[in-house]
Amino acid sequence: MTERSEVTIERSVSTTGSRRFRRSALVGAVVATALGGGAILAACGTGGQGGAGDAGPAKLSVADSYIPLPPAGGMGAGYLTVRNDGGPDQLVKVTSPAADSVTMHRSTASTMEQVSSLDVPAHGALQLARGGTHLMIMGWQKAPALGDELELDLTFAKSGTISVKVPVKELTYRPGQS
């Protein structure tokens, strides 16, 4: 109880500089102890739950998915939006019966890096889009052609696997075009 109290108070005064901060923390700990645990526990609870009101099950749907036609069956990219009308989830794996390898990538200023999971925020969306987070698809079973619909199996930490048929589009395609 005392330990928790100290942490709470240290945080609240941490902007006042380290010397004053140390003295304040000591005084604060005494005050907190004198106040008793009830108020402090309530404060911790509020901070720790992180919006428990949103913690219901995720409600996911996938929209705007497409694969720009890969050059001569080479490495391809995949873009889509995961919408979420519920609690938070994470995209943890993507596979496809049409390809040997699907990985999740995040673009940085100069390069891109593979990531092992992508957050799907509560009541929000995970967007995989040009210039940002995307899927890299390699090892096609058969070179994709315009008009093909390729299955992607998206596995989420809480919601299980969602399979989508993703159309192969022209290289210049942008969602919202027909």
Sign of the CA dihedral with 112 first, then 121, 95, and 141 last? negative
| Closer CB to Cu ion, 61 or 101, in the complex | 101
> Minimum CB separation from Cu ion for residue 25, in Å?
46
| Closer CB to Cu ion, 28 or 70, in the complex | 70
Residues forming contacts to Cu ion in the complex (CB under 5 A) are 105, 112, 136
| Closer CB to Cu ion, 58 or 66, in the complex | 66
* Closest of 59, 57, 80, 64 to residue 137, by C-alpha: 80
Cβ contacts of 1 within 8 Å, gap of 6 or more: 37, 40
> Minimum CB separation from Cu ion for residue 134, in Å?
6
| Closer CB to Cu ion, 5 or 96, in the complex | 96
> Minimum CB separation from Cu ion for residue 140, in Å?
16
> Minimum CB separation from Cu ion for residue 32, in Å?
50
CA-angle at 105, arms to 160 and 67, nearest 5° = 80
Q: H or E segment at 139? A: strand 134-140
Tell me the residue nearest to Cu ion as measured from the CB.
105
